[in-house]
Structure 1
Amino acid sequence: MSRETFMSLANELQPALQKKITNWRKTIQTVAELFGIGEETLCILIREVCHGIKKLMLKKYIHLPYGNELEQNVSGFAKRGMPFCVGAIDGTHIPIIAPTENPADYHNRKGWYSAILQGIVDHKMCFTDIYVGWLHDARVLANSDIYILAEHRQGGYLYAREHSGNINGLEIPLYLIGDPAYPLKNEKRIFNHRLSSARIIVEHAFGRLKGRWRCLLKRNDININTVSDVVVACCVLHNFCELHGEQYPDNWDCPQECVERPVANNREDSVSAVSIRDALLTVV
């Protein structure tokens, strides 16, 4: 990030990270410039920075859109061919060292250990909701705050019903798009094409996230209890950079296998979900 953006970040984190100069200790920043930082101290600093980002910045930079933000988001997805859509949801693997407890919960189908980052992004590739969980992916979704929120809302809607639209007399709630879970039939090819074109935005967001914060690319050997904080901090910093207009060079892109996504479990669509999808077929 640019120096200007970095200083803005430092100012936001100052209340959580600023050290006091005493008769016994100068600030860590001064000592680092003169002597470097030891590994143990570095680990402590990483935890402190991640904690500070979560405490001071998480709710500010990662939240579901409401008001004008919601209208702009829905309009943005409508321009991509998906009316009434409020976000794209997907997951990606974060490589980790094999944990000592319950390692099987983290062992993925590729033969290595990982945590799963489930993310929802808006039309500008900024995260609006994140959840870090362990395998299998169905448990990640079922345990995520966004799933619990929707389940407890009236009718299972993510947003209140006054935000719903209408197609041919059928109420269409604001919805999230993900992988298509139905067979590809001729009458659905155009719909599937536009769905794919709209939902690819979440894949691009994951690519930029890992391209910027390379610690999410290779195996992370930190304590498993700290992995979630590191991932959350990187997601917040991703939004911070995007909202500050930081450039993202193409040569930062990582190979596609580095952003490998979890395999979704095929489940039966509910009757209401099928009806909504079929109604959307008439307008997209």
Structure 2
Amino acid sequence: MRQNVMISVVRAFYAMYVIIRWWMMYDFAMNRLEKATILRQKYLMSYHNGRDSIHDMVYKSDKTSVVNIRMNRNAFTRLCDMLKQRGGLKTSKNMLLLCSYMYLHIMKKNRIIVERFKRSGETVSRYFKLVLHAVCRLHKEFYKKPVPIPDDETDERWRWFKGCLGALDGTYIKVKVLAANRKPYRTRKGEICTNVLGVCSRDLQFIYVLAGWEGSAADSRVLRDAISRPHGLKIPHGTYYLCDAGYTNGESFLTPYRGQRYHLNDWSRPPTNAKELYNMRHSSARNVIERCFGLIKSRWAILRDNAYHPIESMPRIIIACCLMHNFIRTTMTEDPLDQEIPINHTQFGDEHDNIISTVETSQGWTDRQDLLANTMFTNWSVRRANN
């Protein structure tokens, strides 16, 4: 009898244990489900809020679009379509978000985007890389095709430089490098930078960009690398680029006279000889590359502030910024930054003292320079006398 009672009690306790255990498991599962539901609601809310915020930033008006992403609504829509159709970016309901991350990431730091759009840093970086690679794939479409100055050119700044394709120069972009590897990237001013070669056309669009060289690298090495690459800088015979006095005056590279006034800010009085007049007009035309550098640094904060991306990523980012600069100038009827960068903009801090060794000075090219200078001065003197 007692044994049966004990068995009944044990069974009762076991049943209670099972019930309590199942109740605890049920309660735990319900709590997990409730938390998951809350997180899902927060995610959906942040997603829709972020999407609405992006929509307001981009599509509210052209004015807000230009302020936030540096281009109007039509240009932004065209860019998204190009990245999807020809850039290899897969169709996604987040296409607008992807493109916005790209632009905001270039103009602002990762943590600012994470805070504003409630996305993880990994998500922002992943989207950024996807769009970055898509933009770089379109380099053949975005780069400007060089066109030489024709013989019947009427623009006063360019009519003397027939056959000229544009201008080239180097500039420094600050980069993030490990302390052990900083020495090659240190410039003469002690800054940690990469040396970027830029080549542009007369209408302020980039023809070619080579990024990634160390800040201490001589211009001769950078230009030699650009010319020697299979898909590098190509200069057809009979054409040339305008360069500053740090380059050698030789075939395909026309430089100013050394020891004479050159920069536009130096011309407070008229030129007194042929070489000074030549330098003044050379500076006026070659200044397009200085303005190009000024425009991209003004447009994209990542190119003028201290870099927070690893050095391995910076060459693609720099090239992508130049490509998008070209896209904006070809798509929009007016670049909103044209009024911010003066026509005589000069980057004195980027002057290079190195001599380019990839081309040799030729007497024929020197004679061409002298003939051009004398022709300019004779024409200018006659016009001045008649006035």
Shorter-normalised TM-score: what interval?
0.7 to 0.9
Structure 2 counterpart of 1:202: 289
Please tell me whether the aligned partners of residues 77 and 83 of structure 1 are also in contact (alpha carbons under 8 angstroms).
no
Closer, same or farther: CA 35–91 of 1 in aligned 2, 3 Å: closer
- Counterpart selection for 1:121 from 189, 200, 207: 200
| Whole-angstrom CA distance in 2 between matches of 1:82 and 1:229 | 33
* CA displacement 1:49-91 (0-9 Å, x = unmatched): 1111111x211121442xxx44569947774342321111111
Which letter does structure 1 place at the counterpart of 2:275? K
Closer, same or farther: CA 108–212 of 1 in aligned 2, 3 Å: same
Structure 1 counterpart of 2:76: 6
How far has the Cα of 1:45 moved from its partner? 1.8
Closer, same or farther: CA 84–211 of 1 in aligned 2, 3 Å: same
106-115 or 261-270, which moves further after superposition?
261-270
How far has the Cα of 1:241 moved from its partner? 0.6
245-254 or 88-97, which moves further after superposition?
245-254
Question: Does residue 177 of the first structure (1) align with residue 264 of the second (2)?
Answer: no
Please tell me whether the aligned partners of residues 148 and 162 of structure 2 are also in contact (alpha carbons under 8 angstroms).
no
Give SS of 1:89's match.
strand
244-253 or 211-220, which moves further after superposition?
244-253
- Counterpart selection for 1:96 from 160, 163, 175: 175
How far has the Cα of 1:204 moved from its partner? 0.7
Give SS of 1:222's match.
coil
Question: Does residue 248 of the first structure (1) align with residue 336 of the second (2)?
Answer: yes
Larger Rg: 2
Identity of aligned residues (%): 24
Please tell me whether the aligned partners of residues 61 and 240 of structure 1 are also in contact (alpha carbons under 8 angstroms).
yes
Please tell me whether the aligned partners of residues 198 and 210 of structure 2 are also in contact (alpha carbons under 8 angstroms).
yes
Give SS of 1:90's match.
strand
Structure 2 counterpart of 1:158: 235
TM-score (norm 2): 0.58
112-121 or 226-235, which moves further after superposition?
112-121
Please tell me whether the aligned partners of residues 166 and 201 of structure 2 are also in contact (alpha carbons under 8 angstroms).
yes
| Whole-angstrom CA distance in 2 between matches of 1:71 and 1:251 | 25
| Whole-angstrom CA distance in 1 between matches of 2:179 and 2:297 | 26
Which letter does structure 1 place at the counterpart of 2:133? H
Structure 1 counterpart of 2:141: 60
How far has the Cα of 1:190 moved from its partner? 0.6
How far has the Cα of 1:211 moved from its partner? 1.0
Please tell me whether the aligned partners of residues 80 and 95 of structure 2 are also in contact (alpha carbons under 8 angstroms).
no
Structure 2 counterpart of 1:273: 365
Please tell me whether the aligned partners of residues 73 and 123 of structure 1 are also in contact (alpha carbons under 8 angstroms).
no
Give SS of 1:276's match.
helix
Question: Does residue 131 of the first structure (1) align with residue 196 of the second (2)?
Answer: no
Question: Does residue 229 of the first structure (1) align with residue 311 of the second (2)?
Answer: no
Which letter does structure 2 place at the counterpart of 1:264? D
How far has the Cα of 1:46 moved from its partner? 1.8
Structure 2: gaps spanning 5 or more residues: 1-70, 102-113, 247-256, 261-272, 377-387
Closer, same or farther: CA 201–27 of 1 in aligned 2, 3 Å: closer
How far has the Cα of 1:18 moved from its partner? 2.9
| Whole-angstrom CA distance in 2 between matches of 1:73 and 1:2 | 36
How far has the Cα of 1:5 moved from its partner? 0.4
* CA displacement 1:16-47 (0-9 Å, x = unmatched): 223557xxxx88949x9996321122122222
Please tell me whether the aligned partners of residues 274 and 374 of structure 2 are also in contact (alpha carbons under 8 angstroms).
no
CA RMSD of aligned residues (A): 3.5
* CA displacement 1:102-128 (0-9 Å, x = unmatched): 322211112111112211111100111
Which letter does structure 1 place at the counterpart of 2:210? Y
Please tell me whether the aligned partners of residues 198 and 209 of structure 2 are also in contact (alpha carbons under 8 angstroms).
yes
| Whole-angstrom CA distance in 2 between matches of 1:257 and 1:234 | 20
Please tell me whether the aligned partners of residues 134 and 140 of structure 1 are also in contact (alpha carbons under 8 angstroms).
no
